[in-house]
Structures are given as C-alpha cells and as structure tokens.
Chain A
C-alpha cells in the first residue's frame, strides 16, 4: 500500500486546455432508433422501462469528464453499468449515439475512417479483459501486430517489439505461442501490444478481472511501475473498488450508464455522493485511503507546537506520530496551517473500521 503515496493525486479540476482526453455529453443507446430517443423525455426513463417501451438499452447516459496528461483515471461500477461501452466509445469501437470525445485536441466522433484508424494506431491503445491475442502468432508477433498493420518493416518492428516484451518482463518468451503462457503472462503480452505503438493514451477494460488474486496484484503493481516509467495517460476500467483505489488518481463511479461521482480516492471515501456510493465503499479500510485533511479539526485558538504533518498524508501513515505525541499535531498544506489532529481524530477512523463487519 505504500505505492498509494508514490504518485501525487491531482486536483479535482483539470484545466480544459491541456486535457489528454475530454468527453462531453456522451450517449450510447443500443437498439434500433436509439438516436431518435435522444432529447425526448424517454431518454430520462430508467433502463427497464425504456427497454419495455422501445426495446432500446441505454449503455452510456450523458457522461462528461476530462483526464489530464499523465493521469490514471479509473472508471468503476458494477457489471452492466456501461463501463465497457464507455471505454469503447472513446475510440469508436462502439459508435456513440451523441457527444464529443476529444483526444489530443481532436474530436474523435467527427473523424473519418482513415483518420480514426490513424488515431487508433498512434494515439490510443487498449488492453482487454479476455486478452484478444492471436493464437497463431508468437508473442513477439502479437506484440508487433500494431506496428505490422502500420507497415513498419519486419526487422524494425521485431526490434521494437522485443524491447517492449522486455519492458513488461517477458524476456525469454518472445517465441512462445499464447496458449503456452499462463493467464497473467498472456495479459502481459496484451499490455506489451498496447505499449508497442507508443500511444499517449492507454485504455484498460477490466484487464485483470480474469486473473487469480495474487497475479492480479502483481499486474496492478506492474501497471503502477509502467506508469512511473512511461508517464502515459491511462483510463482504467474496473469493477473492483480496491483496484480503483490502488491505481486511480481520480475515480469515476457509474451506475446504469450515468456518472454518480467523480473524485480522488479520499473524496470518494470521505464524501460519498449518495447512498449507492456509500454502500459499496463501506468495507474499505478508511484509514488506508483518507488523508489527514478528512479527519483534522479546526484549531480552537492556539494550534500548539506539536509535530507538523501534511494535509495529504494518509491517516494510517500519520497514526504513529499522532498517537505517540501527547496533544494535537499541526496539519499544514504547504506552509499554511489548515488544522490539527489529535488521538481521538485518528482513533475515530481506526476504531470505526474495527467495528465494521468483517
């Protein structure tokens, strides 16, 4: 869990100008005549009723968000909430019904076919839950596939592919076939394939859901490591809250195609937008996610001269210092005093956790 603090959480508001990805009012309605429903009152109906009435299913409902350069943006929700549909709309693997998707300043929804191919080849790559590898190709040729279809000569693409295979820790398996590899290794191939084209934007659709828990943890750490090394912008889909909290700079929570909340992990845990979010964040160890900012209180009068802690420090990491010190500790945001914490503030979080049903 130490990795949590390794990458700086971004602010909630992203300057629109240099966003790596911006999505505005995106809709996807599956079924015949889906586009005609848009803008009518029907569009606001709950899913089962709309299905009953028109036979259409709303996959994505008026979703907007922006992702900053180098950010890891997690989309999470239960199965059927429209995550896969959303991420596929970003590169138009599923054609959105309405809305804008802006990648590197260009509106993807307006791109013609060749422009779209260009974008998929150079700007955004995707990693899939079921890998989608080509069984009749060796690892190195699976990884080099994106380069091959761009027309990169064989020698060059093999060299580049070998480099990436190395990067994801698969050296020695270049000439294996996918069915000779374990699930975790196959997904490393999937990861390498996405990285080989050197895209700015990486999209992940529940890449680790099909893996065993231990291997899943390794792969999550791998993603964190790669993010450190390569600093790529990532949109990461998951239904696993722990994974979302571990990887995400910010998290978008979806339900029935709609955005329920967008925020940093501590915002999601500390200030859930509604009962729905509160309900499925209830089992998260809060002390592992919340920062001091969420537990401190106003200094009544003098802040005292206790140890200085930063507002964005995780409660768990600060606990030792606060409990060892008698009296309140000062919480600073940079140089500015923003509050104080004492033993009781810490214990409230930790004890509440122990009382919660396991």
Chain B
C-alpha cells in the first residue's frame, strides 16, 4: 500500500468550474428589442381587434357564469354542498352575532350590549397587561377610548369581533397544517407550499365573489374571506418555525426514546414558539386588513363607514374611521409583537412569574368593578355622546378643500405628468394594440426574461384571459399595475440603497415602513382620493404607497447583506460611490431586487382592484359591479378570474427571471444533509 499523504475527504472536493459562457446580448437588451418591434407594429395597427367590451355587454361565457350563479342559488334548499356551506356560514354568523350582543349592539330587551364600553376596555387593558406588560396596556386603553370618543365604538367592536372569530378559526385549521408542513416529507411540503403560493398570489378581492355565492353576504362571508386570507401566513411561518428546530436537538431528544407526539409537544412546538407567535401576528394583521375590505360584502365593522364615504367622495367622513382602523392595526401589531417578546422572556426564565401573577390578580379587581358598572350604569354602558368625530371630519374636509385650493395646481401637474408620460402611452400600447400583437409581445418578453419556464404559464394565463372575455379591461389593469410597479421600484431603489448605506436613514425610516406595512391597504385610498380625485391615478398612487414599504425593506436588506469585504475591496480600487452602487451593491443584491419587484407587482395588482370604485375602472370596477347587480355577476366573476390569471402570470415571470439569474441561483449551496452533519 502506498503512503496516504492527505486523508481523502469527500466534501473538500471542488466542483468542476462551470464552462465559460459564450458572450451574448444581455436580457434587458433583448427585452428592449421586443418592445421596439412592438411599438412599430402598434403604430400601424392600433385600434384594431382590441376586444373592447361595452359597459353592459356580456360574452356568452360571462352569461353562463351568471346562469351558474342563479342555478346555485336556486338549488340552495336541495344541494347538500350548498346546504353545508350555508350551515357553516350560519355558525360563523351566530358566533359573530353572539359576540356583538355581548359588546357592540343592544342585546334585546336591554337597550345596550351585555358589557358596556368601560367593561370591554378594562378587560382589554387587563389582557394587554397580562400578555405584554403595562406599556401595551396603556396603548390598549388609549386605543379603546379613541374608538368611543370618535363615535365609532360599535363599528370598531364589530371589526375586532370579525377579526378574532376569523383568527380563532384560522388557528384551529392552520396549526395542524403548520405541523404537517413542519414535519412531513418534502413531497407533502411542496404540495402545501404550492397551494399556499396560489392563495397568496390571489389579490384579496378575488375571494369575495365565490364566497358570497356559497356563504351569502354579511358576517358569514366576512368571516370566511378573512379566514381564507389570514390562513397562509400562519401555516407558512409556523411551519417554517417548526421545521427550523435544529436537527441536533431533535436527534438528541429522539435518542432518549420519545414518541413523535412527545417530540412535537415538548420539543418542536416550544422551540418554535417565537416564530409561531410571529406567524400569529402576521395572521392577525392580514385578518384585520381583509376584515375591513369585507365591507364590500356587507361585513360588519369600520370598513363600512369608510366604504360609504368613499362612494360619496366624502374624504372627511372616511378619514375618521380610516384613522381608527390604523389605530387598531397599530394596537394589534404592537400587542402581539410585545407578547411574543414577553413570552420568549418568560420561557427563558427572565420574568418573575410569582410577582406577575400577584400583579395580575390585583389588577383584576378594578376590572371586575368596571365590568359590573358597565352593566348597570348608562354612562359606563354606552359611550357618552360627543361631537368629536363629526367635527374632525369637518375639519378634515375644510383642510382638504384648502389644500386642494392651494396646491391643487401642483398635484394636478404631478398627476398629469405621470399620466401623460407613463400611463397613457403604456395603456395605449398594451390595450390599443390588436390583442394578438399584445399577447405575442407579452410571450416574447416572458421568454426573454424568464426562459421557457416563464413562457409556459404565460401562455396558459393569456389563453385564460382571452377566454374570459375581458381582454381590454385586463390590459388596462395590467398597465396600472406595471406603472405602479415601476414607481415602486424607483422608490425602492432610491430609499433602499440610501438606507443600506446610511445607518441613520435606516433608523429613521424603518419604523415608518413597519408602521406602513401594518395599515390595511384600503385606508391608503382616503388621502389619495382627497388629493387626486376619483381617477386611475389615485389607485396607482395608493398602490405605490401600499407596496413601497415592503419593496424598500427588501432592497435595503439585500443591499445591506452584500458582504462588506467585497464593498471594501471595490473601494480600495478607487471606485466612486456611484460605481460602487451600480457595479457592486446592486448587481450583488439582484435577488432581493427581483423579489421586491415581484411583491410590488402583486400589491399593485390588488390595489388596482380595490381602487376600482374610486375611478380605477377596468377589472376592479367589473368586480365591484358584480357584487351589486345580480345580472353582472358573471362578468364580475370573469373579472376576478382574470385578475388571478394576471397575478399568476406576473408572479411566474418574475420568479423565473429571478431563478435564471446566475447570481441568485447559487450552485455552491451545500445540500441540506451536509450542512447538518458533523
């Protein structure tokens, strides 16, 4: 045997260098070529075959959908499936109504709910104290008092009730699925993940039409759509937490002979606790935002007064309940975040449990007194009447008038510039080209940007959009989405790079962005409506503001994640700041940038739809009309499906584009089993 010089080590072996790639045109150049050709063709063919469908016109398929709805409604008493969904809806409704009689509406024969505002506030404050400490208790107290003070006590309570009933059901359904996701094989995982992906790419609005069909309108539909919307983050984040429990710990405890149930209960769940609470936080925030939108299907809560005011273009009237929605969002977000930190501390023995129990027991005494008083004293049962809400609304209205008078020129100018320079040309290109030209151009772009993997879903989605008969509207909505995304990405790049390069900017902006992310999208429409009136542009700007926080944070984190030694190395060669950003930091964080663009697209799409009723028109308007007129239901449903198809198409193209990227697709990543073994 020959002398062994170096021990043979399987892992140490270098992978063979990738074959040198032949140089060719970069992808963006190809994309520009495609667009150039498109413009030339458009110049000669515009206005032909645009598949425009008039306001009251329907295609055969849309009529069939309406027929389908009528058939479903007619079979309500015979079809077991519909009976089942209606029964389910009935239970949800009863749960909501029971809670309402407890805290928000008069419980006949009482002229007031069972528990008045003082009692509810006291209990909420006590819960805040118990789960998160006295600071949060103060925040909760202030929030609840403001609900009453501004005259929206019962709408606020209704919103809370819908949110919590939905979240409770979401937890009941979601936790077992999260455990499944966290513990099953890769196959089970990829199935659940694909389903969740589809749900999460669906803009909020789209759930509503089928849900109304199967659950009726009102509280039941509100709970169901909120529940469906709020479920994915919980499953995903909690599942991730369970899956991320270190395999060494699992192995060590397995070696002691635990059953899989013991493993779950004593090891996986406790160790994933913090992540699970984060998932719960996300679920509650999602639920709140959907519960406000559920006002479209007559769901109870603060969304109702906002929506009614928006329909009337009454900015002041929308402002007060909109502000209270923000207050509630901040309260819920802060409370659950603080609760997660507190529970982590408690789990690590950093909190004196005995002392805490005593404090809570003592604090319970005034809570009980408040409860009792709120049942027997009118002032503690119904929030005392005052004029604060209306006067704030008036003040906001006169401020808006003044503002529009003073700055109307500037906002008008801004609106016109963007409209003329971006929206109109793009809309003309997308929507006024013959449909087959646009379709070909989109497919070519998908191929250039994302390769064959993007082309396949694009073709399928385009065929679907064509079939559902709303091609022209779809192209207008697509335009709004694209324009918005461009604006979002401009903001994301500017602010993201700035944040990544300046710690002080990060410290300043991040809390604002965090707060921005917790606000339900609906609320953004209010100030934009005040500034720009009911137009396409309003929806776009609201969407940009809604999508910007996520995108900015993604870019900032991506750029900040570029290894500092690489940046240093480039600096040592004498690169200018501009070169450093464009040649090192941006290319190296391409993955995050593409992800930001993807998120921006989906957020914009959902806002383009919600904005349908404040002048955005197109698909969003078709959907809204579908709620209100039974003969338009089919068209609304077709619009909903078209929106989903647009969402899936954009998502797939963006993902494929990101994966094609040699930088984000990192071949040196170690296989999963190597990273965990010694």
Q: Is B21 an interface residue (CB 8 A)?
A: no
CA distance A120 to B248 in the complex (A): 16
Q: Are A206 and B348 in contact (CB under 8 A)?
A: no
A230 within 8 A of B: no
Assess whether A80 is in contact with B253, with CB atoms less than 8 Å apart.
no
A47-B10, A79-B9, A275-B1 are known contacts. Are A134 and B678 too (CB-CB below 8 A)? no
Whether A240 sits at the interface, judged by CB under 8 Å, is no
A149 and B251 contacting across the interface, CB-CB below 8 Å: no
Contact of A146 among B257, B271, B673, B678 (CB under 8 A): B257
Q: Which residues of A contact B253 (CB under 8 A)?
A: 132, 134, 145
* 0/1 interface trace, chain A 249-270, chain B, CB 8 Å (1 if under): 0000001100000000000000
Minimum Cβ distance to chain B for residue A27 (Å): 18
Which of A63-71, A122-130, A213-221, A343-351 lies at the interface with chain B?
A122-130
Which of B1, B7, B252, B349 makes the CB contact (< 8 A) with A78? B7
A274 to B1, CA, bound (A): 8
B676 to chain A, nearest CB (A): 10
A135 touches B (CB below 8 Å): yes
- Whether B257 lies near A118 (C-beta < 8 A) is yes
Given A78-B7, A84-B677, A132-B246, CB of A93 within 8 Å of CB of B348: no
B270 and A136: CB pair below 8 A? yes
> Which chain B residue has the least Cβ–Cβ distance from A122?
B257
Which of B259-267, B490-498, B536-544 is found at the contact surface with chain A?
A: B259-267
Contact residues in A for B415 (Cβ distance below 8 Å): none
Q: Are B256 and A125 in contact (CB under 8 A)?
A: yes
Q: Within the assembled complex, what's the spacing in Å between the Cα atoms of A150 and B256? A: 9
B349, A149: Cβ atoms under 8 Å? no
Task: Bits for B1-26, please: 1 = Cβ < 8 Å to A, else 0.
Answer: 11110011111010000000000000
Known contacts A47-B10, A79-B678, A136-B273: does B251 contact A179 (CB below 8 Å)?
A: no
Bound-state CA distance A206–B262 (Å) is 27
What is the total number of residues of chain B having a CB less than 8 Å from a CB of chain A?
Answer: 35
A117/B349 contact (C-beta < 8 A), A79-B678, A93-B254, A132-B248 known: no
Asked if A279 is at the interface of the complex by the 8 Å CB criterion, the answer is yes
CA of A121 to CA of B98 in the docked complex: distance in angstroms?
Answer: 50
B349 and A93 within 8 A (CB):
no
Which residues of chain A come closer than 8 Å to B677, judged between CB atoms? 84
Q: How far is the CB of A122 from chain B (nearest CB, A)?
A: 8
The complex places the Cα of A275 from the Cα of B2 at a distance, in Å, of 7
In whole angstroms, what is the CA distance A134 to B271 when docked?
8
Q: In this assembly, does B411 line the interface, its C-beta being within 8 Å of a C-beta of chain A? A: no
Give A79 to B348 CA distance when docked, in angstroms: 35
Q: Does A291 touch B at the CB level, under 8 Å?
A: no
A274 to B249 CA separation, bound complex (whole angstroms) = 38
Decide yes or no whether B577 CB sits under 8 A from chain A. Answer: no
Q: Which residue of B lies closest to A178 (CB)?
A: B348
Closest to A175 in B: B349
Question: Do A125 and B9 form a contact, CB below 8 Å, given A177-B348, A274-B1, A275-B1?
Answer: no
User: What CA separation (Å) do A128 and B246 show in the bound complex?
Assistant: 13
Q: Are B9 and A149 in contact (CB under 8 A)?
A: no
Contact assessment for B4 and A279 in the assembled complex, using a CB-CB cutoff below 8 Å? yes
B252 A126 Cβ-Cβ under 8 A:
yes
B258 interfacial contact with A, CB 8 Å: yes
A190 to B2, CA, bound (A): 42
CA distance A91 to B252 in the complex (A): 12
The verdict on A134 contacting B267 (CB below 8 Å), with A84-B677, A275-B2 known, is yes
Interface residues of B in 341-374 (CB under 8 A from A): 347-349
Give the A interface residue count (CB, 8 A): 52
Contact of A128 with B4 at beta-carbon distance under 8 Å, contacts A47-B10, A84-B677 already known? no
The one of A118, A128, A133, A135 that contacts B251, using a Cβ cutoff of 8 Å: A128
Q: Provided the pairs A57-B10, A93-B251, A177-B349 are in contact, do residues A120 and B257 lie with their beta carbons within 8 angstroms?
A: yes
Inter-chain contact B258/A149, CB cutoff 8 Å: yes
Check: A328 CB closer than 8 A to any chain B CB: no
Q: Do the beta carbons of B273 and A130 come within 8 Å of each other?
A: no
A110 to B619, CA, bound (A): 64
Contact A84 B678 (CB under 8 A): yes
Q: Using a CB-CB cutoff of 8 Å, which residues 239-257 of chain B contact chain A? A: 246, 248-257
State whether the Cβ of A48 lies closer than 8 Å to any Cβ in chain B. Answer: yes
Cβ-defined contact, A136 with B348, below 8 A: yes
- Whose C-beta in chain A lies nearest to the C-beta of B347? A136
Bound complex: CA of A132 vs CA of B678, how far in Å?
13
Q: Which residue of B lies closest to A121 (CB)?
A: B257
Query: In the bound complex, how far is the Cα of B256 from the Cα of A130, in angstroms?
Result: 16
A146 vs B262: C-alpha distance when bound (angstroms): 11
CA distance A12 to B677 in the complex (A): 32
CA distance A146 to B266 in the complex (A): 12
Contact B257 A193 (CB under 8 A): no
Q: Whole-angstrom distance from the CB of B89 to the nearest CB of chain A?
A: 40
A121 to B128, CA, bound (A): 43
Which residue of A is nearest B263, CB measured?
A149
Distance in angstroms from A302 CB to nearest chain B CB is 42
Our pick among A30, A91, A117 for the contact of B259 (Cβ within 8 Å) is A117
Residue of A nearest to B4 (CB): A276
- Given known contacts A80-B9, A136-B271, A146 and B347 CB-to-CB distance under 8 angstroms: no
Given A80-B9, A135-B348, A175-B349: A149 in contact with B257 (beta carbons within 8 A): yes
Docked Cα-Cα span, A184 to B253, in Å, equals 19
- Taken together as a complex, chains A and B put the C-alpha atoms of A206 and B677 apart, in Å, by 12
Is A313 interfacial (CB-CB < 8 Å)? no
A343 CB, min distance to chain B CBs, angstroms: 32
Instruction: Judge whether B270 and A134 touch: CB under 8 Å.
Output: yes
A119 within 8 A of partner (CB): yes
- Which residues from A are CB-within-8-Å of B262? 149
Contacts of A197 in B (CB 8 A): 256
Q: Which of B552-595 contact A (CB under 8 A)?
A: none
- Which B493-516 residues sit within 8 Å CB-CB of chain A? none
Do B255 and A126 have beta carbons less than 8 Å apart?
A: yes
Residue of B nearest to A88 (CB): B251
On chain A, the residues within 8 Å of B258 by CB distance are 117, 149
User: Please, how many angstroms separate the alpha-carbon atoms of A116 and B257 in the complex?
Assistant: 8
Residues of A within 8 A of B267 (CB): 134
Please state if B252 and A128 are interface contacts (CB–CB under 8 Å).
Answer: yes
- Name the B residues within 8 Å of A135 (CB-CB): 271, 348
Q: Of B252, B259, B271, which is in contact with the most chain A CB atoms at under 10 Å from its CB?
A: B252
Let me know if A131 is at the binding interface, CB within 8 A: yes
Contact for A205 among B7, B249, B673, B678, CB less than 8 A? B678
Chain A nearest CB: distance from B399 CB in Å? 52
* Closest beta carbon of chain A to B558's beta carbon, Å: 30
Docked pose: A121 CA to B262 CA in angstroms: 13
In A78-106, which residues have CB < 8 Å from any B CB? 78-80, 84, 88, 91, 93
The reply to whether A132 and B9 form a contact with Cβ atoms under 8 Å apart is no
Contacts of A126 in B (CB 8 A): 252, 255
Residues in B with CB closer than 8 Å to A48 are 10, 13
Determine if A125 and B255 form an interchain contact, defined as CB atoms under 8 angstroms apart.
yes
Are B248 and A128 in contact, CB atoms less than 8 angstroms apart?
yes
Known contacts A48-B10, A138-B349, A175-B349; decide if A119 and B257 are in contact (CB<8 Å): yes
Closest to A210 in B: B678
Q: Are B270 and A120 in contact (CB under 8 A)?
A: no
Residues of A within 8 A of B266 (CB): 134, 145, 148-149
Contact among B2, B13, B249, B349 for A132, CB-based, below 8 A:
B249
Which partner residue on chain B sits nearest A239 by CB separation? B678
Which residues of chain A are near B9, meaning CB under 8 Å? 78-80
Contact partners of B10 in chain A: CB under 8 A: 47-48, 51, 57, 80
Closest CB in chain B relative to A293 CB, distance in Å: 26
Q: Collect the chain B residues with CB atoms within 8 Å of residue A274's CB.
A: 1
In whole Å, how far is B135's beta carbon from the nearest beta carbon of chain A? Answer: 25
- Known pairs A79-B678, A117-B258, A136-B271. 5 more at Cβ < 8 A? A120-B255, A132-B252, A132-B253, A177-B349, A209-B678
Would you list 20 pairs from A and B whose C-beta atoms are within 8 A, ordered by A residue? A79-B9, A117-B257, A117-B258, A120-B257, A121-B257, A125-B255, A125-B256, A128-B252, A129-B248, A130-B248, A130-B678, A131-B252, A132-B250, A133-B249, A134-B266, A134-B267, A136-B348, A145-B256, A145-B266, A175-B349
